[in-house]
């Protein structure tokens, strides 16, 4: 039986349809309902019913023989069709065993253990330009950034959630991190570079972390289907997000010996507070030997979209604030943009 999964997000609505042959149709609409924007005469349920019908019409889907399931922030939602099954996003994340999942929306971060948003005083941490943008953004949460400064304000807001609530601290070691967000689906390199830089700044623990990305939210839909019926488990498990790269967090000055089978070893000295990007694709493995004082670390790692990243910044979120990130952006962002320009 065909199945249709719906995600009612804070900044978009998305749907994934599987027909009787398991062919997938993914669709996203980057607007959500706001009572202040659409007036008292156009309710939330009317809005989502119209969006749902638009999806059906656009993709020529008839609901008579389709199981409709849903997730999102403000369930239940009436859409003019019966929703057979629903589950909150954090419960879906808790069922994904092969990743530590971090779902990032434009004003909220969800992990398997928590749902966090920015409830801090923006006036104390943002510039006047950013305060003006975020004040409007609070009203139009479905806004898409039209320039780089607006995009940076959104990323700053997300980092404030990290900084004030320590969302990513205490994650289990030796497990791949998966970031789920359409913020990583921007086409321009300068936007992507900025989003990746903030992402790297969110990962604070010392050690080695493999990072993957789901630039849509397909993994949410597929695992909602799996939670609904076990027959969809193989489809959910076969979905592999893209590899961003391997992050080595080591907050001190280090000497790094890079070895592979194809070339001579390379020795690189990296000062405290720097980020070193080594462009290596996901199929290539290198052996990294790090030395800092009497500390030694040897690790075999693979690359990804931006390769292997050695980050020597001290990123304790109690002390590492937005103004520190902006200083580091000035020092390191060009290196990341150069890596992306080679893709």
Q: Which domain CATH number covers 78?
A: 3.30.420.40
Task: Check residue 146 and give its pLDDT.
Answer: 65
Q: For the chain, 343 residues long, give each residue's pLDDT as a single digit of tens.
A: 899 999 988 778 899 999 999 999 999 887 777 776 777 788 888 988 998 999 999 988 887 789 999 998 777 888 888 899 999 998 999 889 888 888 887 767 888 777 776 554 545 545 666 556 555 555 555 556 667 777 777 787 777 766 555 555 444 556 788 999 888 887 778 888 888 988 888 888 788 889 999 988 999 999 999 999 999 999 999 999 999 999 998 989 999 999 987 778 889 999 998 899 998 888 889 999 999 888 898 989 999 999 999 999 988 767 777 788 888 888 887 888 787 776 6
Same domain, residue pair 18 and 111: no
Phi and psi for 145 in degrees, rounded to 5?
-65, 140
Same domain, residue pair 258 and 134: yes
Contact call for residues 160 and 123 (beta carbons, < 8 A)? no
Lateral strand order in the sheet of 308-311: 115-117, 108-110, 100-104, 177-180, 207-214, 242-249, 308-311, 275-278
Task: Check residue 62 and give its pLDDT.
Answer: 83
**β-strand partners of 301:** 286
Same domain, residue pair 36 and 131: no
Q: What angle do CA 20, 26, 31 make, to 5 degrees?
A: 140
Name the domain boundary from 86, 120, 153: 86
Contact call for residues 43 and 107 (beta carbons, < 8 A)? no
* Upstream peptide bond of 235 is cis (omega within 30 degrees of 0): no
Same domain, residue pair 62 and 134: no
Q: What is the token pair recorded at 279?
A: 């462009």
Contact call for residues 26 and 218 (beta carbons, < 8 A)? yes
Same domain, residue pair 129 and 270: yes
Quote the CA–CA distance of 226 and 233 in Å, as a whole number: 5
Split into its structural domains, the chain has a count of 2
Task: Check residue 145 and give its pLDDT.
Answer: 63
Quote the CA–CA distance of 276 and 73 in Å, as a whole number: 38
Same domain, residue pair 53 and 157: no
Contact call for residues 298 and 263 (beta carbons, < 8 A)? no
**Secondary structure (3-state) at 128:** helix
Same domain, residue pair 302 and 221: yes
Same domain, residue pair 203 and 122: yes
Contact call for residues 81 and 41 (beta carbons, < 8 A)? no
Task: Check residue 67 and give its pLDDT.
Answer: 93
Lateral strand order in the sheet of 85-86: 24-29, 13-18, 3-8, 67-72, 85-86
Q: Around Cβ 299, how many Cβ atoms within 10 Å?
A: 14
Same domain, residue pair 231 and 301: yes
Same domain, residue pair 98 and 16: no
Same domain, residue pair 157 and 204: yes
Cα of 288 vs its chain's centroid, Å: 27
Residues with Cβ within 8 Å of residue 338, at least 6 apart in sequence: 277
**Secondary structure (3-state) at 158:** helix
Name the domain boundary from 86, 118, 137: 86
Residues with Cβ within 8 Å of residue 94, at least 6 apart in sequence: 112, 113
Same domain, residue pair 145 and 275: yes
**Which domain, by its residues, includes 120?**
91-341
Name the domain boundary from 37, 71, 86: 86
Task: Check residue 239 and give its pLDDT.
Answer: 93
Quote the CA–CA distance of 339 and 337 in Å, as a whole number: 5
Q: Around Cβ 124, how many Cβ atoms within 10 Å?
A: 7
Quote the CA–CA distance of 93 and 71 in Å, as a whole number: 11
Phi and psi for 181 in degrees, rounded to 5?
-175, 140
């Amino acid at each position: 039986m065909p199945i249709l999964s719906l995600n009612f997000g804070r900044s978009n609505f998305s749907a994934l349809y599987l027909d009787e042959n398991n062919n997938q149709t993914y669709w996203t609409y980057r607007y959500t309902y706001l009572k202040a924007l659409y007036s008292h005469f156009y309710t939330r349920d009317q809005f989502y019913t119209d969006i749902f019908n638009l999806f059906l019409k656009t993709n020529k889907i008839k609901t008579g023989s389709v199981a409709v399931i849903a997730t999102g922030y403000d369930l239940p939602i009436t859409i003019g069709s019966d929703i057979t099954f629903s589950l909150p996003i954090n419960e879906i994340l808790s069922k994904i065993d092969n990743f530590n999942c971090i779902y990032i929306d434009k004003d909220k971060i969800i992990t398997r253990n928590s749902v966090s948003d920015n409830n801090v005083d923006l006036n104390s941490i943002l510039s006047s330009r950013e305060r003006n943008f975020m004040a409007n953004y609070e009203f139009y949460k479905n806004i898409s950034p039209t320039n780089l400064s607006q995009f940076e304000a959104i990323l700053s807001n997300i980092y404030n959630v990290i900084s004030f609530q320590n969302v990513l601290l205490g994650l289990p070691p030796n497990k791949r991190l998966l970031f789920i967000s359409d913020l990583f689906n921007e086409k321009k390199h300068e936007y992507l570079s900025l989003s990746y830089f903030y992402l790297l700044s969110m990962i604070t623990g010392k050690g080695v972390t493999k990072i993957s990305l789901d630039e849509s939210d397909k993994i949410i839909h597929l695992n909602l289907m799996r939670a609904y019926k076990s027959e969809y488990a193989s489809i959910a498990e076969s979905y592999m997000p893209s590899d961003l790269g391997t992050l080595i967090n080591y907050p001190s000055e280090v000497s790094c010996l890079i070895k592979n089978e194809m070339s001579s070893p390379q020795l690189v000295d990296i000062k405290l507070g720097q980020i070193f990007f080594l462009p290596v694709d996901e199929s290539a493995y290198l052996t990294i030997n790090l030395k800092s004082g009497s500390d030694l670390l040897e690790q075999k790692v693979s690359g990804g979209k931006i390769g292997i990243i050695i980050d020597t910044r001290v990123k304790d979120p109690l002390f590492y604030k937005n103004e520190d990130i902006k200083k580091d952006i000035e020092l390191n962002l060009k290196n990341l943009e150069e890596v992306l320009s080679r893709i």
